[in-house]
C-alpha cells in the first residue's frame, strides 16, 4: 500500500521536471564602458579605422566567459565584425 502511493507521487512528480537549457543572457553594455572604448578607438574601427557602421564587439565572446568590461570590448565596423564572426 505505502509502496503504491509513493510510486504514484513519483510518477506525477516527473511531469514537473523540465529540462534546463543553458541560456546565456546578453547583458546590455554599460554606457561608461561604451564611452571608454569609443574614446580609446577614437570613434573608429579598431581594425580598419573606418568610421561607418560601428558596433561594440566582445573580444572574448560572452559564450566563452567574456565579460562586459572595457578590456573585453572593442569598437569594430560592421564589416570587420562580420568577418571576425565568420572566422570563429
Ligand atoms: Zn573595420
Q: Which domains does the chain have, with CATH numbers?
A: 2-87 (1.10.30)
Residue 25 grid coordinates: 543572457
Question: What is the Å distance from ligand 1's center to 38 Cα?
Answer: 14
Q: Write out pLDDT tens, residues 35-83.
A: 999 999 999 999 999 999 999 999 999 899 999 999 999 999 999 999 9
- Of 16, 25, 35, 30, the C-alpha closest to 69 is 30
pLDDT at res. 84: 84
CB 36 within 8 A of CB 7: no
Spatial separation of the C-alpha atoms in residues 76 and 86, rounded to whole Å: 14
Which protein residues have a CB closer than 5 Å to ligand 1 (ion)?
45, 47-48, 50, 77, 80
- Of 53, 58, 85, the C-alpha closest to 74 is 58
Catalogue the E-assigned strands of the chain: 54-58, 73-77
Question: What is the Å distance from ligand 1's center to 57 Cα?
Answer: 11
Amino acid at each position: 500500500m505505502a509502496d503504491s502511493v509513493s510510486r504514484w507521487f513519483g510518477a506525477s512528480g516527473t511531469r514537473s521536471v523540465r529540462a534546463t537549457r543553458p541560456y546565456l543572457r546578453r547583458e546590455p553594455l554599460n554606457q561608461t564602458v561604451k564611452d571608454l572604448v569609443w574614446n580609446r578607438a577614437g570613434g573608429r574601427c579598431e581594425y580598419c579605422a573606418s568610421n561607418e557602421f560601428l558596433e561594440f564587439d566582445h573580444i572574448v565572446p560572452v559564450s566563452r566567459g567574456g565579460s562586459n568590461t572595457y578590456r573585453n570590448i572593442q569598437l569594430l565596423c560592421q564589416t570587420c565584425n562580420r568577418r571576425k564572426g565568420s572566422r570563429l
